[in-house]
Amino acid sequence: MSKSGISIDIPGFGPRHITTVLTDYTGTLSQQGRLAPEVKANLVRLAELLDIHVLTADTFGCAEEELKGVPVILVQFSTERLDLEKQRYGQKLALEHCVVYGNGNNDRLLLKATKEAGGIAVAVDNDEGCATDALLNSNIFIVGAVNALNLLLEPRGCKATLRF
């Protein structure tokens, strides 16, 4: 059964129909590799509407354990050029129907590609910082994983931020 997705009509920015979330893990969803209970709960709620892909090098080595029971597709990379791998992964999908979350230099290319394709690129600081290049290649900057996920759970916030 296909998921319904989320539609957001943003004045001046245009209508968006989101079907997929691509997100970094370390520093974007997690703090020191751990997920807050509210982040897990929001991921479970979003997974009812959207496909969620977690793209990570898993710096702390606990993403699989932390995401146990959360209906996401976990993709772990072990490459020197994580930025290129994330970008290639995203380009296999319809980026115009994606929201991408990231905080690091290794997220900048995927954020940029999503923004250019007409998707929504969100730079997230989950208390571990946000690389300037990630910020410059996004449509939105937000503090906190819970707030970032809430942009989709309550899309009027996303609409208010992006409207002209």
Q: Domain residues of the chain, as ranges?
A: 13-162
Alpha-helical runs (H) found in the chain: 37-47, 63-66, 82-91, 108-117, 132-136, 145-153, 156-162
Low-confidence stretches of the chain (pLDDT < 70) are: 1-2
Whether 152 contacts 158, CB under 8 Å: yes
C-alpha dist (Å) from residue 50 to 1, 2, 8, 17: 12, 9, 14, 11
Q: Is residue 104 within 8 Å of 25, Cβ to Cβ?
A: no
Stated pTM of the model: 0.96
Do 145 and 54 meet the contact criterion of CB atoms below 8 Å apart? no
The CA-based dihedral angle spanning residues 36, 41, 43, 49, taken in that order and rounded to the nearest 10 degrees: -170
Please provide the CATH number assigned to the domain covering 13-162.
3.40.50.1000
pLDDT at 2: 66
The per-residue pLDDT for 3 is 86
| Integer Cα distance of 57 and 106 in angstroms | 10
